[in-house]
Amino acid sequence: MLSFCDLKTDSRKGVTLISLVITIVLLIILASIGITSGVSVIRQSKMNRFTTEMNVMQTEVNDLYDRYSNGEDVLNLGNELDSQADEVFTSEASGITDKTGYRYYDQEAIQGLGIDGVEGEFYVNVEKRSVVSHDGFEYEGTTYYTLEQLPNGLYNVGYENRNTGEISFDLSCDNWTNGRSNIQVSNIEYSEGYIDKWQVQYKLEGQDYWSTSEDLSFFVDTPGMYTVRIVNGDIVSEEKQIEAVKANAPEMLEGMIETTFKLPEGDSKGETIELGDTAFNSNLWYDYGNSKWANSTTEDGSMWVWIPRFAYKITYDDPNDKSKGGTIDVRFLIGTSDQYYDNGGNIQTAKRATSKDEIVDTTSDYYVHPAFTDETNLDFANGGWDKEITGIWVAKFEAGYPTGNNSAPKVSSNVNYTAKSSNVLPIESGVVGDGYNGESYQEPRNWLDGIYGETTTAIKYPTFQPVTYTMNYINHSDVYNISKALTDNGNIYGLNNISTDSHLMKDSEWGAIAYLSWSKYGTNKIEPYINNITANNNIQSIYAITGLTTGEKTAREKEITQDDINNINNKNGNVAINGIYSWNQIEGQKASSTLNMYGVYDLNGGVWEKTAGYITNGNINATTNGAVLISNGDISTKYTMVYPYKTPESNDVNTASEENYKLNTKIFGDAIREISTKGTGHYSWNGDYSHFLGNIGPFTARGGSYRETGSAGLFAFYRPTGDSVYNWGFRPVLVAL
């Protein structure tokens, strides 16, 4: 028996036992390395075949999807799912649990597509562009059925993570057309260099699989929130989200033409583009997901903005003090229904008011905004209509003078039309009354004096265009009648009174604009810039001008001259003219409800906008200045809203306003009760005015004027006497009949 001491080297006898053992061990190691290398090669070969065949099928499925999008019936290609599908479609296996829409492609079905060299079999969902392996690829005890499941490194044994650079890209989404929307990836930048081909992967919120597009754009037919990433081999970007928003398409009215915009940039102002212009793209007409609201222009040049039907829910920043602001979450509704799509593309149903005595809590759930609902059975208590409607058209700018005088900044093409005297009252002059904030005044009431150089008693049709003198010195009855007369025969807008209704904006409709503006589809909780411009130092009886701003949310009034106005109209570029920005400049567009040219202007400042709301408290101002509105007494109509008041009212106007405010517990959607805490002062969101109707102020007005500084805004409401005053105007609404 040998001992350890016997195992030693003898140079005369060659290899000893120790040397032999070491040699054998080395040979075993070398053999092991060779076997491992062989296994790696085999594994890599299988991996390459799996990924190649999956990519070949993905390319074919993308082609099938394009054929499907063009109307071909390709969804029934392939076979019914086999029994293996029950094992593959699980969270533990493929991670995909919903088998709906998938078809089984065996070798015969694959060859029927004209594909050669693919030995695997697959489950395919053409609508989702999804490819799932039938048998999968097994690695270290785990079987993978989709490319997205594979861990980093399995694409290449010698894997080296090259995704060290930064990847950025932009996402955009077209408006909904023919039942689908196109999402595009653009402006890709990769810090490590240029890559010729990116693959786009995307999934709807709640889905457990990625769909793939070989192109940088893809169509979706389900509204909701999509997560998108771009990949190239083992290079994977960060994920970004975009919402495919499906708002109700605008109901075009006779006399309207679709209008879009080229936004201002660099040294160029923004441009207005109408249907028929070579630059007009119907797919880019509007995109509510990116705060681009639909616009149209009538024959006189007036501009209108579409507010689609929606439901909303309010979350207060401080539930104990709702005047401190909050979030308004909007859900666009489907047609005239109360249904909407959630982020996962599932259809949900919003609540609605069912009784005029119901106290609606819009913090508890989504409620259909009353401005779009049939409230006939509720006596129009919340400012509803006489049928369910898909949306409303609102004037893009406050009502302005349709002057043909060279001193006017905007010239109407039809200045000779006048509203019929039977529908529009003549303007009174020289009446002394209680003015703004209790001031007394004695000023000329005929706004045509100094504009045409003569006194006239007929009120011409207003225009709703940018950089136009705002119509003022007009009482509540007049603004109501003028708004109703916009569709009269021979009107300058081309509107048809058979198919179109026009009326003075109600507080519910103001609320709909304000809520949509405050949502993520508008400014996303940003107050638009104030229109604080006045020209009264130069032009008699002219004060506010539409579509202008000094580029601040709150600011004191800014006086300008006619030369300033001419320069604003005639000069290009985005530089301020005497500190003033126009609506189509980079800073000027931030005075709109969307912070871009697609929105509604003059909601913050300009003039106080008289709305069709009132109380029947018997004050003489009600009958003197707004007899037409209050003709129905205490009953609201589809054209007017009646608010509560305490009987008898206090002789002090502030006390009366506060008492009446406390009685206003039921009306919702009008941006009064839901966004304020007191009936006098600055207790609306953003510190805006909150003066409720009462005593000598029996009517409603919204938005504030050029002189209100920090008190004007989306949520400002006031109690006008209804009289003809220098800083009061109006805005109408159009509805398809």
> Predicted confidence band at 450 (pLDDT cuts at 50, 70, 90)?
very low
Same domain, 98 and 134: yes
Same domain, 50 and 136: yes
The domain tally of the chain equals 2
pLDDT value of residue 51: 83
Domain that holds residue 106: 46-149
Decide if pLDDT at 484 tops 80.
yes
Same domain, 53 and 131: yes
Segment 340-354 shows an average pLDDT of 97
Which pair of structure tokens corresponds to residue 214? 């070989």
Helix (H, G, I), strand (E, B) or coil at 564: helix
Name beta bridge partners: 176. Answer: none
**Residue pair 152/125 in contact by the 8 Å Cβ criterion:** no
Residue (of 301, 394, 300, 409) closest to 731 by Cα position: 394
**Residue pair 299/492 in contact by the 8 Å Cβ criterion:** yes
**Residue pair 217/206 in contact by the 8 Å Cβ criterion:** no
Q: What average pLDDT does the structure give for the chain?
A: 85
Decide if pLDDT at 39 tops 60.
no
Decide if pLDDT at 732 tops 70.
yes
Position 14 in a domain = no
Position 427 in a domain = no
**Residue pair 330/519 in contact by the 8 Å Cβ criterion:** yes
Of 60 and 312, which is predicted with more confidence? Answer: 312
DSSP string over 667-720: --SSSSGGGBS-SSSS-BGGG--B---BTTB-EEEES--TT-GGG-STT-EE--
Position 216 in a domain = yes
Q: Which helix (H) or strand (E) holds 734?
A: strand 732-736
Which of 189, 222, 244 represents a domain boundary (last residue)?
244
Residue (of 401, 331, 336) closest to 367 by Cα position: 331
Same domain, 92 and 133: yes
pLDDT value of residue 404: 40
Position 437 in a domain = no
Position 102 in a domain = yes
Cα–Cα dist 320/314, whole Å: 14
Which pair of structure tokens corresponds to residue 327? 């979030």
Same domain, 125 and 179: no
pLDDT value of residue 163: 52
Least confident of 8-22, 194-208, 338-352, 706-720: 8-22
Q: How distant is the alpha carbon of residue 131 from its chain centre? A: 34
Same domain, 204 and 142: no
Which of 191, 217, 244 represents a domain boundary (last residue)?
244
CB-based burial label for 641 (10 Å; 0-12, 13-18, 19+): buried
Which of 201, 229, 244 represents a domain boundary (last residue)?
244
Segment 377-388 shows an average pLDDT of 98
Same domain, 187 and 217: yes
Which pair of structure tokens corresponds to residue 55? 């990519």
> Predicted confidence band at 175 (pLDDT cuts at 50, 70, 90)?
confident
pLDDT value of residue 622: 95
Position 294 in a domain = no
Instruction: Report pLDDT digits (tens) over 651-688.
Output: 999 999 999 999 999 999 999 999 999 999 999 999 99
Cα–Cα dist 82/79, whole Å: 8
**Residue pair 391/700 in contact by the 8 Å Cβ criterion:** no
Same domain, 52 and 145: yes
Same domain, 198 and 234: yes
What length does the chain have?
Answer: 737
Position 128 in a domain = yes
pLDDT value of residue 23: 47
We report the CATH number of the domain holding residue 234 as 2.60.40.10
Position 10 in a domain = no
pLDDT value of residue 718: 98
Decide if pLDDT at 580 tops 80.
yes
Least confident of 413-422, 452-461, 670-679, 710-719: 413-422
Same domain, 125 and 81: yes
Decide if pLDDT at 277 tops 50.
yes
pLDDT value of residue 636: 97
Cα–Cα dist 496/502, whole Å: 10
Least confident of 43-47, 237-241, 440-444: 440-444
> Predicted confidence band at 44 (pLDDT cuts at 50, 70, 90)?
low
Instruction: Report pLDDT digits (tens) over 487-498.
Output: 999 899 999 999
**C-alpha angle 568/571/577, rounded to 5°?**
45
Same domain, 83 and 143: yes
Residue (of 414, 416, 411, 418) closest to 468 by Cα position: 411
Q: How distant is the alpha carbon of residue 358 from its chain centre? A: 30
Least confident of 20-34, 323-337, 506-520, 538-552: 20-34
pLDDT value of residue 153: 44
Same domain, 143 and 207: no
**Residue pair 183/202 in contact by the 8 Å Cβ criterion:** yes
Pairing between β-strand 295-297 and β-strand 548-549 as defined by DSSP bridges: unpaired
pLDDT value of residue 127: 86
